Amino acid sequence: MAAAFVYKADAVRGRQWAEIFRAEAPDIDFRLWPDVGDPANVLYLAAWEPPTNLSGLFPNLKLLFSSGAGVDQFDFSALPPRLPVVRMVEPGIIRGMVEYVTHAVLDLHRDMPAYRRAQQRREWQPLKVRAAAERRVGVLGLGSLGQAVLSQLVTFGFDCAGWSRSRHALDGVHCHAGAAELHDFLARTDILVCLLPLTEATRGFLDDKVFARLPRGASLVHVGRGPHLQTADLLAALDSGQLSEAVLDVTEPEPLPAAHPLWAHERVRITPHIASMTRADTAARVVIDNLRRFARGESLLGLVDRARGY
Amino acid sequence: MAAAFVYKADAVRGRQWAEIFRAEAPDIDFRLWPDVGDPANVLYLAAWEPPTNLSGLFPNLKLLFSSGAGVDQFDFSALPPRLPVVRMVEPGIIRGMVEYVTHAVLDLHRDMPAYRRAQQRREWQPLKVRAAAERRVGVLGLGSLGQAVLSQLVTFGFDCAGWSRSRHALDGVHCHAGAAELHDFLARTDILVCLLPLTEATRGFLDDKVFARLPRGASLVHVGRGPHLQTADLLAALDSGQLSEAVLDVTEPEPLPAAHPLWAHERVRITPHIASMTRADTAARVVIDNLRRFARGESLLGLVDRARGY
């Protein structure tokens, strides 16, 4: 029997994966959930939300792929303990995120929220133009997304910094690491970009204490996950003037209910979780590449450290 | 007597120029209009609007500098016929323009106008994300600004083209030249960026005929000069759906009067001519560098071809 690969996520994308597997990995029996065939043959699963009782259902499962960028939707404690989990690292996600964050940072840097408000009042009111070198951008999270975003931002001449749990070195970026360097990082950041993974350690990270450490009038670009943000703290910081603007691509919950106060806040811009999208074509090819690596005994791209949760 | 340099433009910037000349070109007698000293000593003039009767006023004038990016504010027929005219080419102008146009193109590419309208309706409505490679950006005008803008846009993977009167070759850009290639350029352009110089040949260039050649639903980013645009034609093209969005940093007249219909159009965003600003510090140094080149008999950076008008 051929090794079977089960896809359990958006069906439209699943059919695109099926075509690519048929053309480029005909040796693998690609199946769209719930048509899994003989469960004993299922060695690989790609899912946004895995089925419960995974080891009972697929006793020979060798790899679990997340169909999207994060793995925070997985309950690791409910997964077979030694099952390798692979997150999605593919160029479509990275390019989309670089576009979104560059747009948001330029929007804030060039005072576009103020110009949109001036247009509503029909006011022609030039503001002082500041050079990018005078604008301090700070990125929380230095994974593949954070690194790609910073690589683009430095080309504009922004004064760039990054913070992550472990030490990184990036060209043209002031890198900060660990809790001990968080305050210095925040104190020098005019535009804060959140690209942290969502784990128990980062849930609620964006709170009044973090906002209070930023320079007065700083702005937030949140492209992590909704639960990173303490929404009430954000609204209070905007209303006190501690923060001047917020760009949110993720909220808690999603979709954001129509009655939520974020929608109508003059200094909040909301987009419906569209900063970056997995492209079905490149995602399927990245997974096939990882299956080949697995067969050759090579290391997997995007392998999750289950103890850290990302 | 020392050679005198007269500055006739914004007085605040003039005082910044004075400091830089004092420190870096003490051999030159820098003067702020109207305190010109002995007119016979004035060899150099930097102005936004030159005084009338220039040859009568400064009989020994050797160079005229524009204090800003354009020279369209000069009436060439009223200037001494053989007086060399130098436009401002300095990094502040270029960086500002790259920021503004990159922001505007990303705003249109990522459907931000539609998301802002959706936010007003409190609607969480993801739209299909298109790859930058599927988005055809076209820049009218391939001078120092157009070239710098395209160099940045290609790093995002946009499908980039440019059009100018004379032939250019730019890495990663489909270059079109002259009237014969204008239609092909327009037919392949989803986002049209106008960075043309303003001359008699380009006045009113952005009209119904140009808009009709673009693919239906294309967008305009206008960062040239107000008189390039036939405003009534733009409004008609937006209302018919031939164009979907317009971003205007320049208008005719400026400031745009409060009663003007552009202010309230849902698909027009207006900024008050802030895309790029000459930085006084770098501008003064660029002018000093040109004075040194002139003294050594070298070619001047930004020398205007008075027959072309730019």
The pLDDT tens digits of the residues spanning A30-52 come to 999 999 999 999 999 999 999 99
- Buried b vs exposed e over B8-31: b needs ≥16 C-beta within 10 Å? bbeeebbeebbebbeeebeebbbb
pLDDT computed for residue A273 by the predictor: 96
> CA-to-CA distance for A294 and A85, rounded, in angstroms?
12
Quickly state the pLDDT bin for A92 (edges 50, 70, 90): confident
Q: Which of A125, A271, A277, A282 to mutate to test the interface with B (most CBs of B within 10 A)?
A: A271
The distance from CA A253 to its chain's CA centroid, rounded to whole angstroms, is: 16
Q: Which H or E run contains A238? A: helix A231-240
Q: What percent of chain B has pLDDT over 70?
A: 100
For chain B, give the percent of residues with pLDDT over 90: 91
Q: Which residue of B has its CA nearest to A103?
A: B103
Query: Contact at 8 Å (CB) between A132 and B95?
Result: yes
B258 in contact with A, Cβ within 8 Å: yes
pTM of the model: 0.90
A273 is catalytic: yes
Is residue A146's pLDDT more than 70?
yes
Say yes or no for a CB contact (<8 Å) between B274 and A126: yes
**Where residue A1 falls among pLDDT bands split at 50, 70, 90?**
low
- The pLDDT tens digits for B127-181 are 988 999 999 999 999 999 999 999 999 999 999 999 999 999 999 999 999 999 9
What is the rounded CA–CA span in Å between residue A254 and residue A111?
28
This complex has an ipTM of 0.89
- pLDDT value for A249: 98
Contacts of A119 in chain B (CB under 8 A): 263, 269-270
CB contact under 8 A, A110 and B99: yes
Q: What is the mean pLDDT of chain A?
A: 96
Cα–Cα distance measured from residue A72 to residue A54, given in angstroms and rounded to the nearest whole number: 17
What was the pLDDT predicted at B285? Answer: 95
pLDDT score of A162 more than 70: yes
Note which residues in 114-153 of chain B have CB less than 8 A from chain A: 115-116, 118-119, 122-127, 129, 131-132, 152
CA A82 – CA A93 distance, rounded (Å): 27
